[in-house]
Amino acid sequence: MAPTPRFSGPDFIERAKTQSLSLTVWDGPGIVAPTSGTLSMYDASGTAIVDAAAVTVSAGVSTYSLSSATVPSTTSLSDHWLEEWALTISGTVYTFRRDAILCRRKL
């Protein structure tokens, strides 16, 4: 069985706020811990806002700290952003994509 992420929908990214983005990958019934990885984030026009930035892996969860300066309050709201996680698991790089929405606030 190939490693797969589990998420229920798009990620919500708030403008002008430092926040943590995370991805958990499963292989069958258990969490798989990547040995390393990167995150790229693309806006609605396909421009890389974050380009292959290193992620931190702790307890099997890959995490990236998105700084408030990366997505300032002047950035246009959109439901067409994309996260692209490239994670190394057992020596193989797997790419996982997740839709993202740039919003004012999470509910």
Q: Residue-wise pLDDT tens for the chain (107 aa)?
A: 789 998 889 999 999 999 999 999 999 899 999 999 999 999 999 999 999 999 999 999 999 999 999 999 999 999 999 999 999 999 999 999 999 999 999 88
**What pLDDT score was predicted for residue 15?**
97
**What pLDDT score was predicted for residue 107?**
80
User: Structure tokens of 29?
Assistant: 């019934």
**What pLDDT score was predicted for residue 39?**
98
Predicted TM-score (pTM) of the model is 0.95
CA distance 94 to 86: 6
CA distance 3 to 87: 10
